[in-house]
Amino acid sequence: MPAPAAPDAPGPATPLLDALAARLGHRPGAQRRDGRFLNPDGTPAGRSLAEVWRLMREGGGTPWPERVEDPPFPPPPATVPPGHAAVTFIGHVTFLIRLPDGFTCLTDPMFSERASPFRRHGPRRHRAPGLALEALPRIDAVLLSHNHYDHMDLPSLRRLHARDRPLLVTGLGNGAYLARKGVPGAVELDWWRSAPLPGGHVATYLPMRHASARGLGDRNRMLWGGFALSTAGGGRLLFTGDTAHGAHLAEIGEALGPFGLALLPIGAYEPRWFMDAVHVDPEESVAAFQAVRARTALAMHFGTFRLTREPIDEPARRLAAARQAAGLPEAAFLVPGVGQTVIRDLAAGEPA
């Protein structure tokens, strides 16, 4: 598909950036203890190594199909209606976001076959990306939530950097790591801090209850989080990355909501004794939808990599039941098909 015209380059400051700084500047950034970041409530992030070892000893879980063949969807539209976003679900946590001015953004670009430091070991892909990296339009910005291998995929980031030189925005410590790995120039943010994007849009890094690690020696030394994308036209989109449930979600809703669209995780949640510290389950994802004051949501973080023990189709089924129990129509919190493009109004308002 043809690349749209490039929006204006980001400047040092914009009225929107100044307004967000005034609105959020009093909120504290992430805390550290002994050089390691803590959760928003000040508790240690993730699980202990002893708990990780217990999880590995337990094993089990429901096998997934070797490969899932998804039906094709039409390509993303050439134009986007004013005030809206065209959001294409590429798979797992990767979305292509396009705005009316031609601005293009990727969340956590993951196009590799394995979410692992090893070529032949670790979680492997069970379904192809909805768009190949080569088929993407020119990318203006990348929003990178954290450093886990299913989110920070170095081969994908290197290819994007070589092709488009997008502005990459991420959390504290991640940019320095990426520079050492061949992806220089990332903008690092603390929680509640913002950065200008091309076209006058703004990315704000947000606290999430999760953890980080690339290996055993760097656990929680690089910050994790999500993003609010505030558009120059007044719209707002939330991308949480990974998160467990917690009071931080209502705080985000109070500070920056309502959101026209939220991209929320629904999978990788079993067993709960372990995963409830880092990932929401489908019922908690519906609660998160309500807490952040989203008008609509798209599901993510399901059905591509077998990271935990639930069946491949369980997250969508449980989300449907939780959505119905909350009195929400399907359009309010949709499970997109891989490769599907959804057009959403980014203006705030009541749930659809």
Select from 143, 58, 57 the least CA-distant residue to 96: 143
Select from 53, 150, 138 the least CA-distant residue to 110: 150
Residue 60 binned pLDDT confidence (cut-offs 50, 70, 90): confident
Residue 5 binned pLDDT confidence (cut-offs 50, 70, 90): very low
Cβ–Cβ under 8 Å, residues 196 and 14: yes
Tokens representing residue 24 in the block: 């959020």
Give the pLDDT of residue 55: 86
Counting runs of H as helices and runs of E as strands, what totals does the chain give? 8, 16
**Residues 222-234: tens digit of each pLDDT:** 999 999 999 999 9
Output the DSSP codes for 145-192. ---STTT--HHHHHHHHHHH--EEEEETTHHHHHHHTT---PEEE-TT
- Going across the sheet that includes 194-196, the strands are 194-196, 202-206, 226-230, 236-239, 259-265, 294-300, 333-334
Residue 3 binned pLDDT confidence (cut-offs 50, 70, 90): very low
| Stretch 62-72: mean pLDDT | 95
- In order of their start, the domains of the chain are 73-344 (3.60.15.10)
**Residues 6-38: tens digit of each pLDDT:** 444 455 568 899 999 888 988 999 999 999 999
Select from 84, 134, 103 the least CA-distant residue to 6: 103
Reported as half-sphere exposure (CB side, CA atoms, 13 A), residue 325 has a value of: 12
Tokens representing residue 320 in the block: 């449907």
* DSSP, res 118: S
Cβ–Cβ under 8 Å, residues 146 and 241: yes
Separation CA 322–CA 35 (nearest Å): 39
Give the pLDDT of residue 136: 98
Give the pLDDT of residue 89: 99
34's CB contacts (< 8 A; 6+ apart) are: none
| Stretch 87-96: mean pLDDT | 99
Separation CA 76–CA 316 (nearest Å): 24
Separation CA 304–CA 321 (nearest Å): 21
Tokens representing residue 14 in the block: 């914009």
Tell me how crowded residue 338 is: count the other CB atoms within 10 A of its CB: 22
**Residues 171-228: tens digit of each pLDDT:** 999 999 999 999 999 999 999 999 999 999 999 999 999 999 999 899 999 999 999 9
Least confident piece of the model among 33-37, 49-53, 294-298: 49-53
- What average pLDDT does the structure give for the chain? 94
Separation CA 126–CA 120 (nearest Å): 14
| Stretch 146-166: mean pLDDT | 99
Give the pLDDT of residue 350: 55
